[in-house]
Amino acid sequence: MVFQGASALNLDAKGRMSVPAKHRDALLVQGEGRVTLTKHPDGCLLLFPRPEWELFRARVAQLPMDAHWWRRIFLGNATELDLDSAGRILVSPELRTAAGIEKEVILLGMGSHLELWDATAYAAKEQAAIAQGMPEALKQFNF
């Protein structure tokens, strides 16, 4: 299953996020509703269905010693979660703080996983990327 698309969402007062039905169904099929949430150095959180997390974790664990801080960022901050009966996940205060998330978020499908962004931060980063112009790798890409 491939995750794609953007969803504008709100966290509730306890820090829970309702996973949209299109993603919730895929998470239930792919990982029985078991997910892993961790930090990303770009300022977002990564949300993996458990089987995809296992593959990602194995790749990160094999990074060379000069990447030990990246192992700490990805693996040391990983939180295993289960979707609750209402299809929600609890985003811990530590991870919310790390990503600057308060209430309004954007959930982006990124193929094998999802990214969770503070809505304002995502909009600013997207605009900055557009303002920089298209990277060389995309200049020969046909749309």
pLDDT single digits (tens) 24-45: 999 999 889 999 999 999 999 9
The domain in which residue 45 lies consists of: 3-138
Q: Is residue 132 part of a domain?
A: yes
> 112: which 2 tokens?
């094998």
Q: Is residue 9 part of a domain?
A: yes
Q: Is residue 143 part of a domain?
A: no
pLDDT at residue number 141: 81
Q: Is residue 20 part of a domain?
A: yes
pTM for this structure?
0.92
pLDDT single digits (tens) 52-105: 999 999 999 999 999 999 999 999 999 999 999 999 999 999 999 999 999 999
Q: Does the pLDDT value for residue 111 go beyond 90?
A: yes
The tally of domains found in the chain comes to 1
Here the CATH number for the domain that contains residue 114 is 3.40.1550.20
Distance CA 120, CA 139 (A): 28
Q: Is residue 44 part of a domain?
A: yes
